[in-house]
Chain A
Amino acid sequence: MSDSTERAPRVRPAPEAPVSRRVFMRRAAALSGGAAAALAGARGSAAADSGADPADDGVPPHVPPWSRSLGAPILASPYGVPSPFEANVQRRQSPGLTRTPQSSVAFTPLQNLFGIITPSGLHFERHHAGVPTIDPSRHRLMIHGLVREPRVFTLDDITRYPSVSRVHFIECGANTGMEWGNVAVPTVQYTHGMLGCSEWTGVPLATLLDDVGFDRAKARFVLAEGADGASLTRTVPIEMALADALVVYGQNGEMLRPEQGYPLRLLVPGVQGVSSVKWLRRLKVGDAPWNTREESLHYSDLMPGGVSRQYTWIQEAKSVITSPSGGQVLLDRGYHEITGLAWSGRGKVRRVDVSTDGGRNWHTARLQAPVHTKALTRFRIDWQWDGGAALLQSRVTDETGYVQPSLRALRAVRGTRSIYHNNAIQTWRVDPSGEVSNVQTL
């Protein structure tokens, strides 16, 4: 491919056609013959580029073919799927990060998303022994330990309890973990994509614990265990279990996806994702923490000097600009909306400030209402790009007054080897050519 072809999209304003012709043609080729032909016809610009009758391009004053024909019937897709033109919006893995696809991570494409809700099919994946296929009629949840009446629940039992729906984020404790020492990955999908936010529906864990008569005098912790091959276990402090933890079966209006714990998962709002145990099969009330593998060998934060912080549950306030972000290109000077996400495991987002000069000066962004507690919050701010180099940053302040730290401040306390809880301010560099890339500033 020649250099001039590569650069063409940057200087050609094409706000309605962000998908390059190359990308489109690849997609069309991937589809079956008939569908590809239909798509190719629908995509006038492709025909135009290849020298066919420019009258077919469908752009005014021409009339596009979909305005001159009958569309697909209902139920062409009984469970709807995104437009074929959105096929690039996918979860992805970071090559070389893990050795086996059963114990691995797929990242949410934050750069492609709007608002605060992560489509269920794009919510990041993190499994420790693959995704089990669970027959809900045979799934059981056992609650025992320091309880008056240990019980076994079917899914029907759980859904009989009074339910609540709440919007909360889930962020893996290792999100942005690849970037502690240096820039390692190119786009916001890989830097921040172990992050999702859904409307979750389920039963407050407090309701269930009350119902089995947990021992209020002795109970200090709850062990949560999954039904997958790993039977992953995590210790949850009783205060969090009673405050706002949910036993969840619904996600964004439907049953949980298998990758998200179908048919039952725990949700501990504001806490690193691994605590929101998926495929939940057992809750045990106890008087001491369990020191499980995923809270000793892993998910503990190694500090300079060699001591690890254990039970580092809370996800502190963090934000990131999702557009413009790494890998994108600004096509034009002038107006651009800078937008991104902010969240805090300690409560609500109070404010987000944005800098375009690497942190010298800041301006307060608009927050999209409603702002939920322990949920993603969308921020936006107007920007006139003058065509020069720029360093874009966002900085959240949460309702406790905590301000998102710089990478320098984080490293000063925690070094670069802790893997977990990197909530540093992210910097995207805008090149005069318009290219946006991942950088770290001092």
Chain B
Amino acid sequence: MSRRSDPPALALLLVLAAAVSPSAGAAAPPYGFGTAATAAQIRAWDIDVRPDGAGLPPGRGTVAEGQQIYDAKCASCHGTFGESTDYMVLAGGAGTLSSDTPVRTTGSKLNYATTLFDYIRRAMPFQAPKSLTDDEVYALTAYVLNLNDIVPADAVLDRRALIAVRMPNRDGFTTQHGFMRADGRPDTHATACMTNCTNDVRLLSQIPEYARSSHGDIAEQTARGRTNVATANVEPTAAGGAGMELATRSGCLACHGIDKGIVGPAFTEVARRYRGDATAAAKLVRKVQEGGAGSFGAAAMPPQNASVADIRVIVDWILHRLQ
């Protein structure tokens, strides 16, 4: 086939092209919408930091400075030593990841300290993200690393020092798996057997009774229109809502945290105290009705107005769900 252009044919094509170009279906890149990003715009928003240190800003901070900021802005959620389980646990858990009860904390699981810096800078403190200076972020990073004995108490962190930090779990990650690509190789290889596939079907686990009532009125939740599949009242005692809902509505959570004492003890602490005590439910129901003092601390608990039925549900939830 000749590769030479035929002049009359080419001219005709050009005419046709000119004729169709403004019509529908002829749009093509570049569109060029949007406006050029200025250097200042990019600098202000470009806050990500990579493990190789790309993106780390100038600045420095010490463990001691970090402790001051931490005590003022972080300890109320994360605990004085980063131990609080209410939010992300920052410290502890070293060496537990290979055990049957892994404790995933910033110190035990994170692989790069640069990621800690990146996260604090973008997302913390929880209620005022992006309010810290870069120096403060370096200092806080240093303090959290020190809580985990990863850097010494006299450490000063800047860009170079942070890149050099080696986290205990640096080598604890792998990308050798089939989940990175749509055509990746799966790690299970089930077959679609159709008949006599097994002779051994055993119940391994069933929904515990407390877990039914802990999720509210599941009869109401599963009601479904236009079907003869209806709903069960499988909730044993919690008609009217789960213990948690009732505790919330009755104002219990104003003085008791789930795992954290406020004015009164944490509910989990109450559960621990009465574990194995067959008379606990009756005792606690009475205590909630009549009030009490001295069991956990100086603060007295006033008598509560909730119905006995509601109090029973709440007490049942505390004793059995929160252990």
* Interface residues, chain A, with chain B CB atoms under 8 Å away: 1, 6-7, 9-10, 13-16, 18-20, 22-23, 86, 88, 90, 92, 94-96, 99-100, 102-103, 109, 111-112, 128-129, 142-144, 149-154, 157-158, 160-162, 182-187, 189-190, 207, 210-211, 213, 223, 225, 229-233, 237, 239-240, 243, 270, 281-282, 284, 286, 288, 290-293, 296-297, 300, 302, 304-314, 316, 323-332, 336-337, 345-347, 351, 353, 357-363, 391, 395, 397, 400, 402-407, 409-410, 413-414, 417, 421, 429, 434-442
- Would B192 and A284 count as touching, CB distance under 8 A? no
- Would B30 and A211 count as touching, CB distance under 8 A? yes
- Would B31 and A160 count as touching, CB distance under 8 A? yes
- Would A362 and B192 count as touching, CB distance under 8 A? yes
- Would A402 and B186 count as touching, CB distance under 8 A? yes
- Would B232 and A327 count as touching, CB distance under 8 A? yes
Give the nearest-CB partner of A322 in chain B.
B224
Contact among A95, A150, A161 with B31 in the assembled complex (CB-CB below 8 Å): A161
Convert B203-227 into 0s and 1s, putting 1 for each residue whose CB lies closer than 8 angstroms to a CB of A.
Answer: 1111110011011111111111111
Convert B77-114 into 0s and 1s, putting 1 for each residue whose CB lies closer than 8 angstroms to a CB of A.
Answer: 00000000011100000000111101010100111101
- Would A362 and B193 count as touching, CB distance under 8 A? yes
Contact among A144, A296, A417 with B37 in the assembled complex (CB-CB below 8 Å): A144
Question: Given A142-B37, A239-B181, A414-B187, do A359 and B97 touch, yes or no (CB 8 Å)?
Answer: no
Bound-state CA distance A260–B12 (Å) is 51
- Would A310 and B197 count as touching, CB distance under 8 A? no
Q: List 29 A-B contacts (CB under 8 A).
A: A10-B230, A18-B223, A18-B229, A23-B220, A95-B321, A142-B42, A157-B33, A186-B234, A231-B130, A239-B181, A290-B51, A291-B111, A305-B98, A308-B173, A308-B174, A314-B178, A314-B181, A314-B184, A316-B179, A327-B219, A327-B231, A329-B229, A353-B192, A360-B198, A403-B191, A409-B188, A429-B206, A439-B206, A439-B207
Measured between beta carbons, the chain B residues less than 8 angstroms from A332 are 228
Give the nearest-CB partner of A231 in chain B.
B122
Question: Given A92-B216, A157-B33, A233-B48, do A313 and B179 touch, yes or no (CB 8 Å)?
Answer: yes
Measured between beta carbons, the chain B residues less than 8 angstroms from A414 are 187
* Interface residues, chain B, with chain A CB atoms under 8 Å away: 27, 29-37, 41-42, 45-48, 50-52, 86-88, 97-100, 102, 104, 106, 109-112, 114-116, 118-119, 122-123, 126, 129-130, 172-175, 177-184, 186-208, 211-212, 214-234, 239, 242-245, 258, 321-322
Measured between beta carbons, the chain A residues less than 8 angstroms from B42 are 142, 144, 150
Give the nearest-CB partner of B213 in chain A.
A186
- Would A359 and B198 count as touching, CB distance under 8 A? yes
- Would A307 and B231 count as touching, CB distance under 8 A? no
Contact among B86, B193, B223 with A88 in the assembled complex (CB-CB below 8 Å): B223
- Would A435 and B187 count as touching, CB distance under 8 A? no
Q: Would you give the shortest CB distance from A428 to chain B, in whole angstroms?
A: 10
Measured between beta carbons, the chain A residues less than 8 angstroms from B194 are 353, 361-363
- Would A151 and B34 count as touching, CB distance under 8 A? yes
Contact among B187, B214, B222 with A327 in the assembled complex (CB-CB below 8 Å): B222
- Would B244 and A96 count as touching, CB distance under 8 A? yes
Measured between beta carbons, the chain A residues less than 8 angstroms from B201 are 357-360, 391, 441-442
Bound-state CA distance A189–B46 (Å) is 39
Measured between beta carbons, the chain A residues less than 8 angstroms from B130 are 229, 231
- Would B34 and A154 count as touching, CB distance under 8 A? yes
Q: Would you give the shortest CB distance from A2 to chain B, in whole angstroms?
A: 11
- Would B104 and A297 count as touching, CB distance under 8 A? yes
Contact among B104, B174, B214 with A96 in the assembled complex (CB-CB below 8 Å): B214
Give the nearest-CB partner of B200 in chain A.
A442
Give the nearest-CB partner of A269 in chain B.
B182
Contact among A100, A183, A284 with B205 in the assembled complex (CB-CB below 8 Å): A183
Measured between beta carbons, the chain A residues less than 8 angstroms from B178 are 314
Measured between beta carbons, the chain B residues less than 8 angstroms from A346 are 182-183
Q: Would you give the shortest CB distance from A441 to chain B, in whole angstroms?
A: 5
